[in-house]
Structure 1
Amino acid sequence: MRLAADDWARGTAPRMESFRATQHMITNLRISFDGENQATCVAYVRASHHLPTAPVTATKRCTGTARTTSSGPRTAGGSPGSS
């Protein structure tokens, strides 16, 4: 699934308020350039979200694309892979 960054932030913000704390570790970044103004990054993301009752941890492989425009860099969204 691909999502625009603003749409993702709008949908995520209400859930983020329920966490006591979060931690995100991003490793093994692999960046490929898809032309002069676009690149794709694949990375492993380990995210810990601490609810008031118990912590929740997930590990995912994620892909995101960014491109340069006349108004600056823009992300084209990302897609989580399998855990």
Structure 2
Amino acid sequence: ARPSYAGHLTPVDVEEIGRELDALRERVLESRGARDAAYIRRVIAVQRGLELGGRAILLFGRSRSAWVVGTTSLSLAKILENMEI
């Protein structure tokens, strides 16, 4: 059974959308290359650096500003992890 939000689509429409999405996926997979891999590795390195730095600042920092910087660093690391990696 189709979900209610797809009620206006016919089975033919659903199949056509599926074919279009499959074709799009294939184009994206074929277009990935060394440049994309380098970007991903760079983002991973930045994310890990932010996480490690943030944890070190929180561990060794003695001031309120160190807490703010450490927390911000960990927040940015988590955002990168969730959105880019």
TM-score normalised over the length of structure 1:
0.21
TM-score normalised over the length of structure 2:
0.20
Give the greater-gyration-radius structure (CA). 2
